[in-house]
Each structure stands twice: as C-alpha cells, then as structure tokens.
Amino acid sequence: MRTRAAIFRTPGTELEVCEVELEEPRGEEVLIRMHVVGICGSDLHVIRGEWPRPTPMVLGHEGAGTVEAVGDSVTGLHVGDKVVVSWAPACGDCDACRNGHVTACTTLRTAIGAGTMLDGRTGLSLDGKPLYRMTTVGALADHTLVPSQCALKLPVEMALDQAALLGCAALTGVGAVLNAGQVAVGANVVVIGAGGVGQFIIQGARLAGASRIIAVDPQSSRREVALTLGATDAMSPEEFSSAENPLLPNGADYAFEAVGTAHTAALALQSVRNGGKAILVGMPAIGTKVEIDPFEFISREKVLTGSIYGSQEPARALPRLVDYVRAGRLQLESLLGPTFTLTQVNDAIETSLDGASGRVLVKLGGVDS
Ligand SMILES: [Zn+2]
Ligand SMILES: [Zn+2]
C-alpha cells in the first residue's frame, strides 16, 4: 500500500515528506493508522548525526493510532482498536531476554542499529529501494506496520494525543523509577532534566511515595511544570550545584539523569548519598564518556545503573500506566506541547530542538480524539 512518511536522509538536511510503499500485515503483524507522534530526544540524536543510522529512514517511535488491518495470526486486536506503539519488541530468546532484561534484548539492539524490524525486514520501500525505520517502528507516517507485541491496546476513552506520550516518555520515565530505581517510600529523589522523560520520572517518584523530589533544569518553564507534577523543589543546575544549596546536605537517596550528557551523568552520581543510587535514563550521543572517581565511588558505596525504556516488558508496564491515568494520578495533558501536521514536520523538529517545554506533537491523518 502507499502511505505518506517523513524521510530522514542525512544530518543537516530537512526531512522530506513523500509517498512510500508499505507492506500489508502478515502473520502476527498489525497495520496502524497513526494519529499522533511525539518528537523524542532519540529522534533528535539521529537528526543531529549523533546516532549513525542507515538511510533513508522514517523517523518517529512515540505514537498512538488505530488498528487498520491485522495479519492472519493476530489475536486480541481488531480493526478500530486504539493502540499505542511500543518500540521495543523482544525476541524472548537471547541472553538478555532470558535474564529478564527484555528492553535490552540483543536482537532488538541489532534491529535498531540496522533500521529494521526484529526479523530483519523493513516492510518499507521508496522508489523500489529499501527504506529503513527508526527504532524498529518509523512512526512519522500516516501508517506503520509493527508486530502485534508492539501494538498495545488502549481503553476506548483514552485521547490519542495524550496516549502518544505513554509510548516512549511515560514508559521510560515512570518505569525507570518503579523498576530500575525501585524508589522506596519516603525517599528523597533528584531528577536532573525536566524535559519529556524527566517530567515522567518526577511523576514516577511521586507515585512511588518519595517525600522530597528535586527537579533540576535550566529552563524556568520546565521547572514550573515540574512543581505541578509532584516536584517539591525546583532549581537551576547552578543553584543545585552551589555550595550554599541547603537541600540534601548528605546527598540524595536516588538521582535520575534525564538529559544525556557526560556532565549531567557525573552530576547524578555526585548527587547521591553514601550508598545512594544513580540511574542514567537520558540517552547520550554515541561515544559519550563519563568520568568516574572510583575511589569516591567505592568508598562511598554508591550504585550506578542504566535504564532503557522503563526496564520492563512494555505490554506489562502499559496497563499500570493506564490505571494511573484513569485514577488521575498520572498527568499527560499538561505535558502536551505545540502540535504540527506531517507537512510541517520540520517546524516540529525545529521547535523540539529549541527545547519546547511540552512534548512537540505531529498529527497524522487519523481519527478524532
Ligand atoms: Zn523516545
Ligand atoms: Zn531478546
């Protein structure tokens, strides 16, 4: 079938919206009519050339839409169902999967690097030549084709523009707190970076029952939003790092890094108390190196860990997030940023690169919500 998609060719050039060829769903596959896609920091890494990827490539991986067709073997999903896209299909068979680290699946890592689905196909072509997909998905298109494990069913009442945020930022941020961090009730938590993912780490810390949540971000607009989502304090990186900072004189129980730079990763580790835990969540440019003082690290018994996509199988993690949304305990609406159409996708990316305080969204030809 023919559909429209936003194509990335090379860093420094604009995305091009054009008609592409997309395979029909077979077997366990699902064709999704995309409704809305959020521009995530990972898309920006590709655009800036910080993550080398095969091209041409359809970008986008955080989105929601409706099922338009299903393959013969699909059960539990029907045409018209609202779904959010997961970008982390797992093979179930590699060492990482067998050890319970399904979002770190080795087969998935290979597919992401190759710009394909897990089976090595792209399902996409442009002028008869292979067209690659970002993070196994390629969601910045009117339609996308994914395995059924990546089409996560949503309740009918869920607004799709809000649901899109569940697909990357919310699963990543809330999951980092509940699964990788395992933040204890009453803990004090520092969140470095209050962008798309950081705001969900803040909400995750509130859901976990943290007593003090300090949001650190240079942008005052992001700090203000953080305070409405559960942060008890908000400050600039300079204020946070200053010797006069009276908060947490012994350091934080947990520090989350949601920016993706060497400096902020080191700051997260510095921020935790003796025996405290730093969790790196923000994706850096490939090749970024963090300097660690092993003497300090050892003698203060600090813990450092990474967390990818919430460190839990997305199909298991999503229903919990949906329950939080229904109960009014997880805010999505206030995190929606400016909205663009697919033909305005370069304006959307420009706005996102400028650091818009809400998630920048691209609306596609889907249903009303
Ligand atoms: Zn993302
Ligand atoms: Zn695997």
Q: What is the pLDDT of residues 233-248, one digit of tens each?
A: 999 999 998 867 778 8
Mean pLDDT of the 92-118 span: 97
Q: What is the pLDDT, as a whole number, of residue 357?
A: 78
User: Cβ(11)–Cβ(43) under 8 Å?
Assistant: no
Q: What is the pLDDT, as a whole number, of residue 369?
A: 41
Mean pLDDT of the 199-216 span: 98
Ligand nearest to the Cα of 136, by number: 1
State how far the Cα of 258 lies from the Cα of 264, in Å rounded to an integer.
8
Whether 282 shows a pLDDT value over 90: the answer reads yes
Whether 169 shows a pLDDT value over 70: the answer reads yes
Whether 5 shows a pLDDT value over 90: the answer reads yes
State how far the Cα of 72 lies from the Cα of 114, in Å rounded to an integer.
27
Q: What is the pLDDT, as a whole number, of residue 248?
A: 86
Mean pLDDT of the 103-118 span: 97
pLDDT confidence tier of residue 61, bands split at 50, 70 and 90: very high
Query: Across all residues in the chain, what is the average pLDDT?
Result: 95
CA of 111 to the centre of ligand 2 (A): 11
Please give the structure tokens belonging to residue 240: 């946070």
Whether 368 shows a pLDDT value over 60: the answer reads no
The amino acid present at 326, given as its one-letter code, is R
Ligand nearest to the Cα of 118, by number: 2
CA of 93 to the centre of ligand 2 (A): 5
pTM of the model: 0.96
pLDDT confidence tier of residue 367, bands split at 50, 70 and 90: very low
User: Cβ(109)–Cβ(283) under 8 Å?
Assistant: no
Read off the pLDDT of residues 283-298 as tens digits, 9 standing for 90 and up. Answer: 999 999 999 999 999 9
CA of 62 to the centre of ligand 1 (A): 6
Question: What HEC string does the chain produce?
Answer: CEEEEEEECCCCCCCEEEEEEECCCCCCEEEEEEEEEECCHHHHHHHCCCCCCCCCEECCCEEEEEEEEECCCCCCCCCCCEEEECCCCCCCCCHHHHCCCHHHCHHHHHHHHHCCCCCCCCCEEECCEECEEHHHCCCCECEEEEEHHHEEECCCCCCHHHHHHHHHHHHHHHHHHHHHHCCCCCCEEEEECCCHHHHHHHHHHHHCCCCEEEEECCCHHHHHHHHHHCCCEEECHHHHHCCCCCCCCCCEEEEEECCCCHHHHHHHHHHEEEEEEEEECCCCCCCCCCCCCHHHHHHCCCEEEECCHHHCCHHHHHHHHHHHHHCCCCCCHHHEEEEEEHHHHHHHHHHHHCCCCCEEEEECCCCCC
Lowest mean pLDDT among 14-28, 165-179, 238-252: 238-252
Q: In what order do the strands lie in the sheet with 252-257?
A: 233-235, 212-216, 188-192, 252-257, 272-280, 303-306
Ligand nearest to the Cα of 102, by number: 2
State how far the Cα of 205 lies from the Cα of 203, in Å rounded to an integer.
5
The number of beta carbons lying within 10 Å of the beta carbon of residue 337 is 17
Whether 365 shows a pLDDT value over 80: the answer reads no
Read off the pLDDT of residues 39-58 as tens digits, 9 standing for 90 and up. Answer: 999 999 999 999 999 999 99
Whether 199 shows a pLDDT value over 80: the answer reads yes
Ligand nearest to the Cα of 61, by number: 1
**What residues have their beta carbon closer than 5 A to ion ligand 2?**
90-91, 94, 97, 105, 107
**What residues have their beta carbon closer than 5 A to ion ligand 1?**
40, 42, 168
Ligand nearest to the Cα of 110, by number: 2
